[in-house]
Structure 1
Amino acid sequence: MQSSSIKLLPGWQNSGPGHWQTVWEEEFGYERVQQHDWMRPKRGDWTARLQDVVVDAQEPVVLVAHSLGCILTAWWAAHSPQAAQKVRGALLVAPGDVERPDLAELIPGWSPIALQKLPFPAILVGSQNDPYCSAERASLLADSWGARWVDQGNCGHINAESGLGNWPLGQGLLAELSAVAAAKN
């Protein structure tokens, strides 16, 4: 797939310097989906923005989501016919469990999490020591979404603090999804 067909969906507060999404954007030219307000995300606003990006894409896309971006992907896919038509796959990394009371208070309006099977192939990568989503919960989300579960081990929130650099494991998983996407075109 061309780099323009890979869409990066950061989570709450965006992905800053040293985050693998930022590294991928800089190294590979993937497009970051910009949101209106990274600090006070509104599910409706973020969903509308993702819809616009997918509808405006000249070719099918693969989504690469982190944290709240995973929750956004599932919610949007449950409500948009474009999900089945234009998305060829999703790499979902370290979903934030916005149904936990502490996170629901920090990021209101994102519960409930959509739990339907995604209409495209997906891989969900979680961590054994993610402070925002237990490995058990991430595995259950993967099952609900019909995504393949990948256990990253003890990698925290799989973000800049995890020190992954350009995250070779993630690149390999994205290459798998991109191969599936290319076969469907």
Structure 2
Amino acid sequence: MNEAGTATVVIVPGLRDHVADHWQTHLAGKLRKVRTVPPLEHDKLSREARVAALDGVLADIDGPVILVAHSAGVMITAHWAQRHSREVRAALLATPPDFESPLPDGYPTPDDLRRNGWLPTPRQALPFPSIVAASTNDPLARFYRVAEMARDWGSRLVDIGAAGHLNPAAGYGPWPRAEELIDDLDREEGRS
């Protein structure tokens, strides 16, 4: 990995925050210029609080940023992009959930998500280049729904195969493909 050029990589975790054997945690441990959005102490399901936490991290960084979001972190990123305009070079958006469809047991209900500001899902084009990495058997989103989000966001869709939700429960600690996709984004942005 080329360390994403001069950009700082900002890890945007999902609702379960920092997970020890998660690919984002492994990635953060390998990079020199990296920040992770910290877990919330209160209002853990609040979209507004999550977006503010991401913006707070970005406010402390000088220079370009590459966002690396997973699951609800993708939705945090999409909501953040609607309201803020800090310099973001690009984003890797891995396995976004379909919050507009009922999620499996153990996850927030559509009513919980609506009450906490997650719905509707933002569909405006993102103001920076992005890749959406989509799994063909993600229990939190059907592939065609993720493809629709990618299209609406102006993102390049990358089919990562049957990777579940790309988390430890699906067998992912390290995910080397993340480094490749970040490098792709960095090279693409460097050519533009």
Report the alpha carbon displacement of residue 170 of structure 1 after superposing the two structures with TM: 1.7
Letter of the 2:125 counterpart: K
Q: Which runs of 5+ in 2 are unaligned?
A: 104-108
Report the alpha carbon displacement of residue 110 of structure 1 after superposing the two structures with TM: 0.7
Percent identical: 35
Superposed CA deviations along residues 107-149 of structure 1, whole A, max 9, x for unmatched, are: 4431111100001000001111111111111110000000000
Report the alpha carbon displacement of residue 160 of structure 1 after superposing the two structures with TM: 1.4
Q: Which residue of 1 aligns with 2:28?
A: 25
- Aligned residues between the structures: 181
Letter of the 1:104 counterpart: P
Query: Does the 8 Å CA contact 1:3/1:31 hold for their aligned counterparts?
Result: no
Q: Which residue of 2 aligns with 1:177?
A: 185
Tell me, in whole angstroms, the C-alpha distance in 2 between the residues paired with 1:180 and 1:61. 14
Superposed CA deviations along residues 156-181 of structure 1, whole A, max 9, x for unmatched, are: 00111232342122211011112234
Does the C-alpha gap of structure 1 residues 49 and 126 become closer, same or farther in structure 2, counting only changes over 3 Å? same
Root mean square deviation of aligned Cα:
2.1
Q: Which residue of 2 aligns with 1:93?
A: 94
2:66 aligned residue (62, 81, 102): 62
* Stretch of structure 1 that moved more, 146-155 or 98-107: 98-107
Does the C-alpha gap of structure 1 residues 37 and 109 become closer, same or farther in structure 2, counting only changes over 3 Å? farther
Q: Which runs of 5+ in 1 are unaligned?
A: none
* Stretch of structure 1 that moved more, 46-55 or 148-157: 46-55
TM, length-normalised to structure 1: 0.88
Report the alpha carbon displacement of residue 41 of structure 1 after superposing the two structures with TM: 2.2
Q: More helix per residue: 1 or 2?
A: 1
Query: Does the 8 Å CA contact 2:70/2:95 hold for their aligned counterparts?
Result: yes
SS at match of 2:89: strand
Superposition pairs of residues 4-153 of structure 1, within 5 angstroms: 5-29=8-32, 30-37=34-41, 40-82=44-86, 86-102=87-103, 103-105=109-111, 107=113, 108-153=116-161
Tell me, in whole angstroms, the C-alpha distance in 2 between the residues paired with 1:61 and 1:9. 12
TM, length-normalised to structure 2: 0.85
Tell me, in whole angstroms, the C-alpha distance in 1 between the residues paired with 2:40 and 2:179. 28
Does the C-alpha gap of structure 1 residues 174 and 49 become closer, same or farther in structure 2, counting only changes over 3 Å? same
Query: Does the 8 Å CA contact 2:101/2:110 hold for their aligned counterparts?
Result: yes
Query: Does the 8 Å CA contact 2:7/2:66 hold for their aligned counterparts?
Result: no
Query: Does the 8 Å CA contact 1:17/1:160 hold for their aligned counterparts?
Result: no
Report the alpha carbon displacement of residue 151 of structure 1 after superposing the two structures with TM: 1.0
Query: Does the 8 Å CA contact 1:33/1:50 hold for their aligned counterparts?
Result: yes
